Amino acid sequence: MKLKTAVRSLALAAVCLLQAGYSLAQAWPSRPIKVIVPFAPGGSADGTLRVVSEKLTEALGQPVVIDNRPGGSATIGAAAVAKAEPDGYTLLLMPGTHVIAAKMVPNVPFHPINDFTPVSTLVFAPYVIVGAKTQPFSTLKEMVQAAKARPASLTIGNSDVVTRLGAEMLSQAAGIQLEHVNYKGGGPITTDVLGGHLPLGVATPVAILSFHKDRRLNALAVTSPRRLGTLPDVPTVSEALGVADFDSRTWFALAGPANLPKPVVDRLQRAVKQVMAQAATRERLLAMGLEPADDHSPEAMAQLMRTFGQRNGALIDSAKIKMD
């Protein structure tokens, strides 16, 4: 008798939990949703969310409000989300660098994995290895040959930790030594490559697209596993060098604080998937040089966070990269 009573109690509790979850999913959202972008307005991160937030507002029936909080190498905005109530009304536009922040910034006030709930990957952001027309090479393979002939003679410009990692990954994959120079932004890199003052640079597809079309610089390779629709004639690093699995991209995704309720995660993820399937959304993102993610599940995002952190963390350690 006691066993039957216990079973009935457990069954009733399970039904109550399901009903509570269903009620929460139906009720959320009932007010505006704030998404913190840990960067200043402008740029790929902010631009990604501005494209997606318009359609998410329609899909969820509540305004999706952008809150830019730059600083601390994107850790200030992330810290605010980590401390927020896990109710689905404060979210983070998470960049790939989030999972390696502890290696780059001292005393980060959060755990990049445990203090956040993955929701959905939005886009990947690839880069392009570009060379000056004044250099005696026009392909990546020729550049590698030149670098091997004169070790440490070629300088490559990078503008942030992601482009620095891309340049370092290229050096290791090709077995060459490049001199790395930090720039304040991608614009000055492109300008110096165009002027012949910088032999090599890591730039965004959008920054160099018109110059590539006008043949004012050499687009040597893209850092993504697949060629880009905006630069279909530019090979991947893997293709150009005959190496496997070269992938040096960052990404942007949606996350919440730890313990975000599953019904909220599921509702938000479905809305993201719906928005990202729209042709107009994908076209706008592709025009920005971004690659919409193929898998928008929380599980795929969680796996991406782990693998990105492990691979790039090891690269930071081996190259002894420090944040300036």
pLDDT tens digits along 195-212: 999 999 999 999 999 999
pLDDT tens digits along 224-258: 999 999 999 999 999 999 999 999 999 999 999 99
Across 104-131, average pLDDT: 95
- Residue 29: pLDDT over 90: yes
- What does the alpha-carbon distance between residue 76 and residue 70 come to, in Å, rounded to a whole number? 7
Per the document, the length of the chain is 324
- Residue 288: pLDDT over 90: yes
pLDDT value of residue 18: 42
pLDDT bin (cut points 50, 70, 90) of residue 315 is very high
pLDDT tens digits along 119-159: 999 999 999 999 999 999 999 999 999 999 998 899 999 99
The pLDDT mean for the chain works out to 92
pLDDT value of residue 320: 83
- What does the alpha-carbon distance between residue 135 and residue 218 come to, in Å, rounded to a whole number? 9
Which domains are present in the chain? 31-125+250-319 (3.40.190.150), 128-241 (3.40.190.10)
| Cβ–Cβ under 8 Å, residues 159 and 189 | yes
- Residue 21: pLDDT over 60: no
- Residue 6: pLDDT over 80: no
| Cβ–Cβ under 8 Å, residues 34 and 91 | yes
| C-alpha dihedral (280, 282, 288, 290), degrees to nearest 10 | 170
- Of all residues in the chain, the percent with pLDDT exceeding 70 is 91
ω into 29 cis (within 30 of 0): yes
Closest C-alpha to 252, from 82, 28, 61, 35: 35
| Global confidence as pTM | 0.89
Contacts for 104-111 with beta carbons within 8 Å, 24 or more apart? 104/73, 104/161, 104/316, 104/321, 104/322, 104/323, 105/72, 105/73, 105/75, 105/323, 108/75, 108/79, 109/75, 109/79, 109/82, 110/75, 110/78, 110/79, 110/82
- Lowest pLDDT segment from 21-25, 179-183, 267-271: 21-25
pLDDT value of residue 13: 45
How many Cα atoms occupy the beta-carbon half-sphere of 56 within 13 Å? 26
- Residue 269: pLDDT over 90: yes
Indicate the DSSP class of residue 235. Answer: P
Q: Which two tokens stand for residue 319?
A: 């190259």
